[in-house]
Amino acid sequence: VKSSEEVVENDTEKETENGVSGQKNQSVEMKTDSGGKTFQLEAVEPCWQLNDLILPDDTIEAIQQAANTILVYPIVERWLGNVDKVGHRVAVNFYGPPGTGKTSSADALAALLSLKVMKVNYADMESRFVGQTPKNVRLAFRQAQEAKALLFFDEADSILG
């Protein structure tokens, strides 16, 4: 079965979960045809700062270290040249039972990086069509990069195990 993707982008101003209105959010609707799912991606301002969270010290240190790694990379690259031959990427895997702060930690990391956050439920990206799920994942990464947003896969344990 052949399928194609369509992306519709909207710039919207609306009240966010943290009650701040007037912030410009980039909304991306990802569609697949031939009976595929439609899901919405939106780059929004983070709702949480790191100092808002009650987490173990080692978790807070790990979030700060991830942010620092991302923030200093351009300086290291300028001094030493391209030291990362596969491209600058940092993946952070928040894990734990429901209600332990995974989503708020992703917001806090985005806030440390002065980025918006784009949250996507992985189950919404899955497709029954062969090859469509990887296309949806690539499209989510591309949209997050264009929106200069941190991409957060909610319920990622469905693919990470």
pLDDT given for residue 67 in this prediction: 93
Average pLDDT of the residues in 119-140: 83
Indicate the average pLDDT of the chain: 75
147 and 112 in contact (C-beta within 8 Å)? no
Which pLDDT tens digit goes with each residue over 60-71? 999 999 999 888
Q: Does the pTM exceed 0.75?
A: no
CA 32, 134, 150 angle in degrees (round to 5)? 95
**What is the residue whose two structure tokens read 């957060």?**
152
What is the rounded radius of gyration, in angstroms, for the C-alpha atoms of the chain? 17
Dist CA 7 CA 10 (whole Å): 10
